[in-house]
Amino acid sequence: MSEVVLSALVCTDLAYDGSYLKYDTRVDCSTPEYAAYRAFALSMVAVWVLGYPLSVLGLLFYYKVPTIAARKQRRAKLRAFLTHSLRLGAFTAAQRARLVGTLDSLDELHLAELRYLAELYNVDGASTLPSDSLVKALHELMERMIESEEIAVPVVRWDLNAPDEDERCACDRLGQVLQKFEVPYWMYVRAKPSSCDPRSNSVGRQ
């Protein structure tokens, strides 16, 4: 659509024959009819070429999509790191269930768990460092292992049935924009009534 709108603004000079629209040389750019056509095309530049992308960008921030995406990526990295750790160490069934659960950060691990992980990866001072230092050291280790591809992070996808209320709201209102590589008409924004209110964590009427 943007290409069509912008094509209406491109004229080519044919020397003595005058100036004509590049994409349709039947249209004379010196006529009053084209002047009106050009004015309409310029208005569509503001509405479609600039307005639509800015509107979508505003909606993405309104529904906290960048924040949610960063949170999902952080969780995926942590889950990949802990899953890799479970293959290396001897963990109890309870510890395994906890490590593959819904942890959002290494800060949520107990000091004993942090120290065991640090010892597993031969982190200096694993038995003496305080929890905040262990979290920092393990986080840096995790990022290095992911960057060097020792750990593979799975593809992160948007989930309409996610336990995260913010993610459910974003998927409900912007689902086909977020999944633009999976649906043919990704520019369509769902506008059905929803109980999601991104301005708070409570459920209210949109």
* Mean pLDDT, all residues of the chain: 79
Amino acid occupying residue 149: E
Q: What is the pTM of this model?
A: 0.65
Other C-beta atoms closer than 10 Å to the C-beta of 139 total 16
Q: pLDDT per residue over 136-180, tens digit each?
A: 999 999 999 999 999 998 888 888 888 888 888 888 888 767 765
Query: CA-CA distance, 142 to 189, in Å (whole number)?
Result: 37
Q: How many angstroms separate the Cα of 26 from the Cα of each of 4, 11, 23, 60?
A: 16, 11, 9, 42
Percent of the residues in the chain that have a pLDDT greater than 70, as a whole number: 85
Q: pLDDT per residue over 42-53, tens digit each?
A: 888 888 778 888
Query: CA-CA distance, 69 to 115, in Å (whole number)?
Result: 29
Q: pLDDT per residue over 130-146, tens digit each?
A: 999 999 999 999 999 99
Above 80 in pLDDT, residue 204?
no
Element (H, E) at 73: helix 65-88
Helix-strand-coil split of the chain, %, nearest 5: 55, 5, 40
